[in-house]
Chain A
């Protein structure tokens, strides 16, 4: 008897705790099947139902009883006694009888109710998440410009699909926290997109960014701050954020043990803390480039360049060039495989390096196994800074070569090229100008670059940043000259994003109208030919879908309502598509469009 009761007491306690655990339906409070099964599951199915089990089944246990049976101090005998007392207690019996009648009445009226009222708790919310990716709930999206026409709709759409949404909202006088038009569920970071500090705060912990902000006026300052520098800030902040999380993640993954392959981590190209790279890197060439681009060796001239390892374990590339078109190059041949056995540049899309210089422009030179040389130039700074060079920025040195294929890279190098100091003013007649030019030339002759490391940035599948730009189509609310100014600013913003190496999607809609979305056929095109308007809701939908669409990565495209093209223009291939709620129209529409645009 004693043991049986003990077991029973345990069971009740267990069911109480499992009731807390068994909330499988997210935030919706549930009194559905799961909780009940847990109760039943913890009891032994083969055991004969005893009196208490039967009582449980037919009568609801009162709160006082439950708490008493749950308290571990109450002895078995005590419990048994109170159970018997309770079952003959007329007050309890009355309550139970009334409850039974109520239940019966409830069922009777439910059966006959034409507008059946039932508790929503019982129904799984099969909402719009049918077309949302399963990763939505773990994705935090920063919406820049959440109070705008597209941003307002977009943040709601994201919320409906379960994304965590953060908004960067400008501080404005007299506006309460949690700005107007932004739902409560959106995490608001107040700040200005033109301020790097604010942007950095907003980007903390964010997975993806949708930039739908636009300047409020066409003042040059406003355009510069939002459409141009705003995009640049957002891009930089996201890169830094990616860097930071990658570093903390690799530190958390058991230090000391062999690091597991992480596709998001950067791949090492050169790290001068390691003897391996210290030994391999050396000056490859010093001398003048002849007119036809081929290199003649001329060590006997006065040109000088050295590469050595500093006490801080950085590579110091230093020297002085004097002859016309002189260049100096430091570099090393690369093993195409990393020590782990994977391709060094496989799936990568950019190089990044930490360097300190003196303000001169340097060039990064990649040589492929086919012998082609590809060059991308970057300015150096007086302090250590990180330089990013997407592979799309590298141009072949000779004409007629195919674009760079990162998989074929064999050699990497950094080059300094001597250029003539720009002749200032009217010429050299002015003594002061001449002196200045001479000083400039002297400054240019010498170079000194410290390199800490070079790494390859892995590519990705989905866009990281979705940018809402604009098409050049004429708009009724703005005159032609202003529009030109606006479009120019937007294009500069696009350029920042494209050069960053992040995955991007740039959407250039026709003039926006406020109409419900999802009813008209849309037309996707490239080449700034669109003339029709498009509803803000449709644009928001495209932004949302692009977020997880591999086809949208690194593409820029125009979008507007469908129309019949003018005479003479029908030759162009136009891609039209009808958006529907549950069909993914974006992938087939974007498939034929060109990448890296």
Chain B
């Protein structure tokens, strides 16, 4: 940083530098999918820890300004446009890949073709570290297209020779808000299933924390870790929790899993509805009544994270409801349900 007057790099040292390739700052990382639920928390956490963060955003009229407002740099590229990828990796030492297809996009194109191209690019450009997000038990459910693709990507990444870490996720608490808490607050019906699948939800902020710890730790390279929350809940339990905290009753529309499976089978028959059928494929997993949870003791130790510091769903929901009530009071909103303010 400080230059003595008159010091100049010698010609010899310049040649040496050129031969060994351009040195890449260790602190620069690329986040793919930085606008997503998890991605934005990772961007925030990484910026806060002092990384130079670059994010891939799709070329749009209204680009994701919030990422730049936080101090990340954005580059325009698209996982479905393979030629746009290599340029984004220049000067990057690690990639955190938390992108996935949006509901309106093709899973095959984004999650498979795009990711394969990205991994190959990373390989060719000598990226130091690749963190990939996958789904819990994705290798057990080849019948679900997205999970199958994730499992295949995991294998592809492991065989690529990259210094990788795969993190398998169960579920985000943030999704609970959108799916259950908001409808209950708004008096809208809540849609649930009647299965006994349990999910150990994690706060995306905790996931971001674990991700940055994994990125830093050498011991995590070449490993697949499952990240799970402190406790697993069924859908029913989550809805009850939300009802409790908001002090209101939810109208629950229960969709039986057989109906989902049946709809899927009907749709599968029609070629034009294949995409739609794929989207219902997850019903097969639900019907198994699995528990999406994993022992975390070893993972915590590996990442240097204390178990008590991980947010529980109860605390998370409590904070959410407290916050929303406070803000509503601030704007002076009144409601016909006065018992809200008890």
Contact = CB atoms under 8 A, between A and B. Distances in A.
Interface in B247-291: 253, 255, 260, 263, 276, 279-283, 285-286
A111 interface: yes
B21 interface: no
Interface string B30-46: 00000001001100110
Given A33-B182, A160-B70, A124 B320 contact: yes
A528 B44 CA distance: 34
Nearest to A116: B175
B336 interface: yes
A41 B65 CA distance: 34
Nearest to B175: A116
Interface stretch (A7-15, A151-159, A250-258, A268-276): A151-159
A111 B69 contact: no
Interface stretch (B77-85, B112-120, B123-131, B186-194): B186-194
A596 to B, nearest CB: 30
A561 to B, nearest CB: 14
A126 interface: yes
Interface in A87-124: 105, 107-120, 122-124
Contacts of A517: 49-50
A126 B319 contact: yes
A586 to B, nearest CB: 16
A518 interface: yes
B178 A184 contact: no
A34 interface: yes
Q: Name the interface size band of chain B.
A: 35 or more
Interface centre among A33, A122, A124, A477 (most CB of B within 10 A): A33
Nearest to B3: A217
A516 B263 CA distance: 50
A514 B27 contact: yes
Interface in A238-267: none
Contact of B323 (A119, A126, A160): A126
A507 to B, nearest CB: 16
Q: Name the interface size band of chain A.
A: 35 or more
A110 B333 contact: no
B71 A155 contact: yes
A579 to B, nearest CB: 11
Contact of B328 (A24, A120, A159): A24
Interface in B157-197: 171-172, 174-175, 177-179, 182, 185-187, 191-193
B12 interface: no
A109 B70 contact: no
B178 A218 contact: no
Given A127-B44, A217-B2, A114 B282 contact: yes
Interface stretch (A437-445, A446-454, A493-501, A533-541): A533-541
Contact of A122 (B27, B182, B191, B209): B182
Contacts of B172: 116
A172 to B, nearest CB: 16
A40 B179 contact: no
Interface string B201-242: 000010001001000100000000000000000000000000
B216 A581 contact: no
B240 to A, nearest CB: 17
A49 to B, nearest CB: 12
B146 A114 contact: yes
B135 A516 contact: no
A218 B49 contact: no
A482 interface: yes
A538 B192 CA distance: 45
A217 B50 contact: no
B48 A36 contact: no
Contact of A118 (B48, B65, B146, B175): B175
A149 interface: yes
8 contacts: A33-B186, A33-B328, A108-B255, A111-B192, A160-B47, A516-B49, A519-B304, A540-B50
Given A107-B191, A122-B178, A123-B177, 19 more contacts: A24-B331, A33-B186, A33-B324, A36-B186, A112-B260, A113-B103, A113-B279, A114-B146, A118-B178, A128-B48, A152-B71, A160-B70, A183-B69, A185-B69, A214-B1, A218-B4, A477-B2, A515-B26, A537-B49
Interface of B: 1-5, 25-27, 37, 40-41, 44-45, 47-52, 65, 68-72, 100, 102-103, 135, 144, 146-147, 171-172, 174-175, 177-179, 182, 185-187, 191-193, 205, 209, 212, 216, 253, 255, 260, 263, 276, 279-283, 285-286, 304, 309, 319-320, 323-324, 327-328, 330-331, 333-336
4 closest Cβ contacts across the A-B interface? Answer: A537-B50, A156-B71, A118-B178, A185-B69
